[in-house]
Amino acid sequence: MIVISVIFGILFSVRYLLVALFLGAYAWAQCTSYYRLSNFRGPLWASITNLWMVRSVYLRRAHLDLYHAYQKYGELTRIGPNVLLTSDPDLVQHMSSPKSGYTRAQWYAGQKLEVGHDNLLSTVDDNIHTKKRAQMAMGYSGKDVEGVEVALDKHILSFLDLIRRKYISTSSDLRPLDLARRVSFFVMDFTTDIAFGHPWGCLVNDEDVDKWFESAAIFLPVVIMVSTIPWLAQLFSIPLVGKFVGPSDKDKTGPGKILRAVKEVVRRRFDLKDHEQKRDMMGSFIRHGISRNDVVAEAALQIAVGTDTTATTIRTTMLYIMTNPRVYHKLQTEIDSTMCRVEIIPDKLARTMPYLQAVIKEGSRICPPTTGILSKKAPPAGENFKGNFIPGGTEIGQCAWGLQRSKEVYGDDSECFRPERWLEAKGERLEKMEKSLGLLWGYGKFSCLGKHIALLELNKVFFEVS
């Protein structure tokens, strides 16, 4: 009995010792992390835990909380144990410069639909990302896609026809229109048409085909949460865990159903011979050597990101136009005075309309379509930037609202929707505004490859729908 007691005593002692060592190591790690960035101010919670960001994302107010933190604590605010937030256009631009030494942080790793298959957005490795960009640039930019503007005109006509056919009220018949949802249908059909050769069918059917938008409302917040918690992204990257919690193409509903539909489209396209490939984005990817799994990942990304971001800009800008009689009147006057001899305004002509362009810029600025922090990781040796030393490995995210509502850049009325600021600004002030607005599309090695097509949509849709 004495021997057994001694053995149990040793085991208990070892257990307590291991627990003590674990707690000690954790406490040391937390203290080290705290002091490492102790020169930067921010919410108290954020200095010791990611729970501050988790709470903001969960409550779906991260864009506001980040903006308020920037206003309170300044250009470099601490929002996590190893995460800083910036609204400095110079720093955001610097981090994305090819020779800066900054790389994508783990935030990006959570931005994928199917676990284990990275898309261009979720790829963290710099070398792989650079190679993918080179292979996909011609497709995403539309340069390798036949008849982009013609396809867009077709879908704008379909959009207008739907409104006229079903949603024009009369004195005896009220026909309310959910414009926000129909805008999403329009962008979805155009995106899928040029992405893989045929539209999803939302506009023709006037419904959420395959429940994509219903599924996205559930799944996309989960993706954002995974990106917010680094260890969760790493956990989900384990194949066994990922297969258990992630969407599967065997699912009958939700994102898995969408994934199955995408895989079926890709399967049919890979069964074609080279000369049979359509001149769309998917055909471009295939011709440039993108693998089947990567094409599936990109197709899912095009639907999720390409649809949501552009639709958000259209929806919010239309809201500001409709609720500002002065803006609406000036825009309508410019539209009425524009000589357009075809059914849908050509892109080249839309670009010559000063007030229309000012409205597009102001709408994009006042409510940025992407508010994720898009964090980058500082080079191992760290660096000094404007008098602040940023330790190596520190992650720095960007505050989209802070960038686009900066009083220093846009003036004291930066929180007001006022397109005229783009017509009044001259010289250095205009250059600063253009530079800051341009960061909505990324910069340098992380710039958005689909910018040209998104602007093509914006240049036409407000002219035709307003």
C-alpha to C-alpha distance for 64 and 355, rounded to whole angstroms? 29
Q: Are 405 and 67 in contact (CB under 8 A)?
A: yes
Q: How many other CB atoms are there within 10 angstroms of residue 419's CB atom?
A: 27
pLDDT score recorded for residue 27: 47
Location of structure tokens 């969407």: 247
pLDDT score recorded for residue 402: 96
pLDDT score recorded for residue 466: 86
Flag whether 279 is in a domain: yes
- Here the CATH number for the domain that contains residue 61 is 1.10.630.10
pLDDT digits (tens, 9 = 90+) for 326-335: 999 999 999 9
C-alpha to C-alpha distance for 363 and 318, rounded to whole angstroms? 8
Flag whether 29 is in a domain: no
pLDDT score recorded for residue 9: 65
Q: Are 270 and 292 in contact (CB under 8 A)?
A: yes
The DSSP secondary-structure symbol of 411 reads -
Q: How many domains does the chain have?
A: 1
Flag whether 209 is in a domain: yes
Flag whether 24 is in a domain: no
pTM tops 0.85: yes
Helix (H) or strand (E) holding 69: helix 62-73
pLDDT score recorded for residue 22: 43
Q: How many other CB atoms are there within 10 angstroms of residue 191's CB atom?
A: 26
Helix then strand then coil, in percent of the chain rounded to 5, is: 65, 5, 30
Flag whether 456 is in a domain: yes
Q: Could you tell me where the DSSP H helices lie in 97-199?
A: 126-140, 148-166, 179-196
Structural domain of residue 143, as residue ranges? 37-465
pLDDT score recorded for residue 232: 77
pLDDT score recorded for residue 219: 81
pLDDT score recorded for residue 8: 53
Flag whether 14 is in a domain: no
The DSSP secondary-structure symbol of 304 reads I
pLDDT score recorded for residue 156: 98
Q: Are 404 and 365 in contact (CB under 8 A)?
A: yes
Does 31 show up as a binding residue in the annotation? no
Helix (H) or strand (E) holding 385: strand 383-385
Q: What is the mean pLDDT of each run of 10 residues along the chain (466 residues)?
A: 62 54 47 77 93 93 95 95 96 94 92 84 93 94 94 97 94 93 96 92 93 84 84 75 73 77 89 82 93 91 86 96 97 94 94 98 95 95 94 97 96 97 97 97 93 96 94
Flag whether 26 is in a domain: no
Q: Are 402 and 76 in contact (CB under 8 A)?
A: no
Flag whether 111 is in a domain: yes
SS3 at position 128: helix
